[in-house]
Structure 1
Amino acid sequence: MEMPRPLADLPKAHLHLHFTGSMRHSTLLELAREQGLHLPDALEKDWPPRLRATDERGWFRFQRLYDTARSVLRRPDDVYRLLREAAEDEVAEGSGWLEIQVDPSGYAHRFGGLTATLELFLDAARKAADAAGTGMALIVAANRVRHPLDAKTLARLAAQYAEHGVVGFGLSNDERRGRARDFDGAFRIAKRAGLLLVPHGGELNGPVSVAECVDDLGADRVGHGVRAAESARLLDRLADRQITCEVCPSSNVGLGVVERAADVPLRAMFDAGVPIALGADDPLLFGSRLLAQYELARSVYGFSDQELAELARQSIRSSAAPEARRKELLIGIDRWLATPEPHETP
């Protein structure tokens, strides 16, 4: 019986991972115990939580769990630990480049303000990447539920560090509570600084949300974007303009965007020519990391090894990785494909 090529050996880039949500579950439990913090059952004995954020109550519960997880990160050492462990996890799964999304606003009151917080994250990311032997950069993300002026403040901050480890500017949180077009000023600031524009869209709202990200914000990539599959015309536009969608299958199931992994339109988007970068989104809340998304592509969506290699290439081409690292990773993909499939020993 033939065994498939190990997906952990396939070089890839990870472009959709949130800072707090990247925390290991074991680290959350350990830090909570150290601080005497009582965790809800959904983050302890019933982990991973059963979430359904397609209604107001469900999204509020998701955010409450997220805020609980954020509350255990109280010291600079906790930030260094989280990013060190994230880098180690990426390397173990074959990821040679990580763009991790952060909103400094959520931590600024603990770490001396927005600038000091971002500098802490950047230093921790550099040290984590060096120690693990991988590449890592930050995407500064504004929050849709806050005022667009706050987003402009974050965009200016991101622009100041565009040559020092910040590679992109994003927009996250519930897209039903903030239109993308309201944040166009912040994205213009980020674009002038040469940052990648990577707003979330097309997750809890339909194709119009994706179209706004593209037309009003000039998105280079769209976080999620799966609802674009509801419009053949929009899929054609994404394919023609080669705008990458950061598809996170486990997250889509976890938040109730779809009922089953099989319902995520990954195959339809890929076949339409839309570039795809698989992502884990928030492993702490959804219970699976990047490698599991590639395993779903193989087992649920029927991707061949050639197609899996192309998914990995698309993630690298859509990244802000330096040219030397891109070349190294792309050569590694060719090498992975050139390796004969292992055979099971009788």
Structure 2
Amino acid sequence: MKAFVITAPGEAGVQDVEPPTAAAGEVVVDVARAGICGTDIEFYTGEMQYLHEGHAQYPMRIGHEWMGTVSAVGEGVDAAWIGRRVTGDTMLGCQRCERCRAGLHHVCAFRDEIGVRNGRPGALAEQVAVPAWALHALPDAVDDASGAMVEPGGNAWRSVDAAALSTGDRALILGPGTIGLLCALFARAAGAEVHLLGRPGRSLEFATSFGFDGVWTEADLPDLAWHAVIDSSNAPHLPARALELVEPGRRIVHVGLAGSPSLIDTRMLALGDITAVGILGASAGLEPTIAAYADGSVDPRPLVAATVALDDLADILAGSRPPQAGAGPKIHVEISRQSPRPSGASRQERP
């Protein structure tokens, strides 16, 4: 099958690789669409921290925002999965340790991450193997574009949930990228007054098209009571700024990661009786995100600026923007099988 492989910083392309088989407890998914995220770009440039910590190494196959159709199941998996449209959890905990047993598989010390960690092949390929327990079925109301936005949506849903917003609360989202815009959409769906802060430019201009209550730069941010501040940026100074801005007794949520350490004054945190929450991964937010996409309370599709082919991906990771791309922050890759499906792929496979 065809798969996108990064072999070294700045060196990547589509290769012919062995297709996956469905091991016991797993399925094979024919990938239809996958998204490109900042993590993928950092793997391409060599900046991603996992490369320096030994959690990832080249060559690697990226892609963790995806949807597709189950084409094969392994031993112990219900054959009813075959033919179903699905997406899946990126965070694959060991399912045995104390954290996994407590429902915290996304922070399992032994976890794999699809397309990210421990060499688990990603979904920027014609097929991907996924544990059946990590699957989430997509209803017909969630089309392919939205299905490939469930993973970033899950991160945003968890961030807004952690902000503990009530109807009428005023929320400030720092950073108008994909996660920030999705946070803003989920916060608005929850009944909050929503404001975004960013740097002047295309991203901030695009944010104004959603009709949020306010879109600001640091220079013109009004002096208002912020009942929650969600930092979805990569700016190292904004976590401390979030702490300065939020109302006492309220919450700051950190879902963005800077390339260098971010510092906050814990004296301000304690004296303001402020709760700070960190968000890693979409796991607990996948089902609520699918439900919100299905009922139309959140529509992620305007964020998708362009859809390209797998062969175009290296140029995109290197910084090129597709011709005729819209103003949104997200690029999708449309993937379809280029060769006949191997014999037996539609049947239950056994190791």
The answer to whether TM tops 0.5 is no
Q: Which TM-score tier does this pair reach, normalised by the shorter chain?
A: under 0.3
Name the structure with the higher helix share: 1
TM-score with structure 2 setting the length: 0.27
Name the structure with the higher strand share: 2
Greater Cα radius of gyration, structure 1 or 2: 2
